[in-house]
Structure 1
Amino acid sequence: MAVEVGSEAPDFTLNDYNKQPVALSSFRGERNVLLVFYPFAFSGICTGELCQVRDELAAYEDENVQVLGVSVDTPFSLKAWAEQQGYPFPLLSDFWPHGAVAAEYGVFNETAGLANRGTFLIDTAGVVRYAEVNAPGEPRDQEAWKKAVAALKS
């Protein structure tokens, strides 16, 4: 079961594509976090979704939102993908233990060994304000994320 709106977001520390640890709790009190789980680097839908985030990143930054992408890929493949696509936000590797953070958020697909498309907006207090889970082949509607980000102000 996915983490629900109104609950405290499970904390985690994962390595980014430079093998540097990034802790969710490091943003607490400072920035909201848009946590975007996706199945695999280099896949078509994932590339399209994260390119849209990249192209609209200023809108999130203007609202004090840190975007974090998470997949079960290795840091090496994430780095190659980030460089190829020019992603300026951290891509975190949930490779080992395989999918542990995705499982904590209720988005790990054990049958396929990947993260489903889970999106969680976490406020500066660490509370989940928006949650959405889509199947691997089902693209997300990012307009819903933007509405959730706008609602953080009220």
Structure 2
Amino acid sequence: MTEVRQAPDSVFVPGIGQPAPEFELLNQYGEPVRLSDYRGRNVVVVFFPFAFSGICTGELCEIRDNIAAFKDSNATVLAISVDSKFAQRAYAEKERLNFDLLADFWPHGAVAQEYGVFDAASGMALRGTFIIDVSGIIRYVVVNPRGQARDFAEYRQALLALGEHQP
């Protein structure tokens, strides 16, 4: 269950069945968030280009409005962009986002690079989503072209399929 619609040339995007690269970033409150702290839960890692931009706001507000669907699937959402924790906090407050926004600010885009979704030419993350299972293994990947929103229904489908394969 993987679909990579677009990835930069010569960039490695971790694939299905591989361990998710570990990371620790600050959330919008300045608190450290480590991927491995979520072992035992599914994690939906959502890379987005920039806070306050139109498509990103639409996508993240759709997640906000449907957060119960993630919780029902034993999933935590971690949204990541290259914005600072200060921008992330202002954005989360303005849009009433009820999940962690993580700042991949410095070194600039380092986590996005690890996941193969950093566009060095524009200095931003591409729209990449990675669903990671309870053991830290990547089970779903999608990278959308610039300007194309991700389909929320695909997240639900991937999480439902994942639930069928977990104890």
Q: Which category of TM-score, normalised to the shorter sequence, fits these structures?
A: over 0.9
Matches of 2:145 and 2:102, distance apart in 1:
20
What is aligned with 2:24? Answer: 13
Cα distance in 2 for partners of 1:18, 1:143 equals: 29
Q: Give the structure 1 partner of residue 141 of structure 2.
A: 131
Deviations 1:21-78 (A, max 9, x none): 00000001x2110000000000000000000000000011011100000000000010
Deviations 1:75-115 (A, max 9, x none): 00100000000001000000000000000000000000000
Separation (CA, whole Å) in 2 of partners of 1:60 and 1:17: 20
Paired letter, 1:133? V
Query: What is the aligned counterpart of 1:102 among 98, 112, 119?
Result: 112
Which ranges of structure 2 fall in alignment gaps of 5 or more residues? 1-11
Letter matched to residue 18 of structure 1? Y
How far did residue 145 of structure 1 move? Answer: 1.1
- Determine the C-alpha separation between the residues in 2 that align with 1:136 and 1:78: 21
- Count of aligned positions: 153
* 5+ residue gaps, structure 1: none
Q: In structure 2, what is the Cα distance between the partners aligned to 1:4 and 1:23?
A: 20
Aligned pair partner of 2:33 in 12, 18, 22: 22
**What's the secondary structure of 1:152's corresponding residue?**
helix
Question: What is the percent sequence identity of the aligned residues?
Answer: 52
Note if 1:3 corresponds to 2:14: yes
User: C-alpha distance in 1, partners of 2:64/2:13?
Assistant: 25
Structure 1 stretches of at least 4 aligned residues deviating more than 2 Å after TM superposition: none
Give me the CA root mean square deviation. 0.6
SS in 1 for 2:163: coil
Inter-partner Cα distance in structure 2 for 1:88 and 1:148: 21
